[in-house]
A and B are shown apart, each in its own frame.
Chain A
Amino acid sequence: MKHIFILFTLLFSNAIYAQVTNVENQVRSYLEDSYISDGQIYRVMLNYEEEGEFDVTLFGGTQYRIAFSSTLSQANLIFTVIDFEQNVLFTNQDFDNTPYWDLLFTSTIDCKIQVKIEDKQNRSGIAVMMIGYK
């Protein structure tokens, strides 16, 4: 019985890992060939009504692509870029919760990227973000 439990745990973990990997590949595809990744993959586990926050510095004269996806394919993933004075610079809520958007910065700005998952069934999920630039 113990061995079956271990086998089950291992297989289940691998399946979850595969699911997260699929999400990561999905986000990677949003960056396309024209954007160079910043070399990091940002993942955050979000419970119902929780919000994740990413602290970023986005350099002037650079065009960025912010891309997201989550393990809950049917849920809405909302991301918002705000400055440190809490001004909203962009939110995908204004654009049908699009999974990616380009931001062109004329000057360097320290920002926060906030993310939350809106799910009718109040489930928890993992949000994955990547930042590309050109």
Chain B
Amino acid sequence: MTEYVVRFLVGGVVVSAFAMLGDVLRPKSFAGLFGAAPSVALATLGIAVYQHGSGYGALQSHSMMAGAIALAVYSVFVCHLLVRARLRAAPATLVSFVVWLIVAFGLLTLAGAQT
């Protein structure tokens, strides 16, 4: 239980710090870089390496590569939904999450998942 409380607090602080940095930076396309900051990664990998060792962290970062490619595809998809389909931000980002899941798990399957 304590582990999850620590995860929640560390994750909340790191994610909020990057999000606030994105808030105060201009232009908006530059601030958007912080929308893909390694906030969850820093918090999670820190705890994972401390608990399970560097081998576990290395394995996680291998599949993180697939997640990052999926995030790039997701962001481009969101951008097109907002500009071309004129969807509002909330539905555009939620619908596109399906794209992230398909690309991320597709790449992981292609690479051959190791557990």
**Pair from one complex:** no
- B-to-A contact residues, CB < 8 Å: none
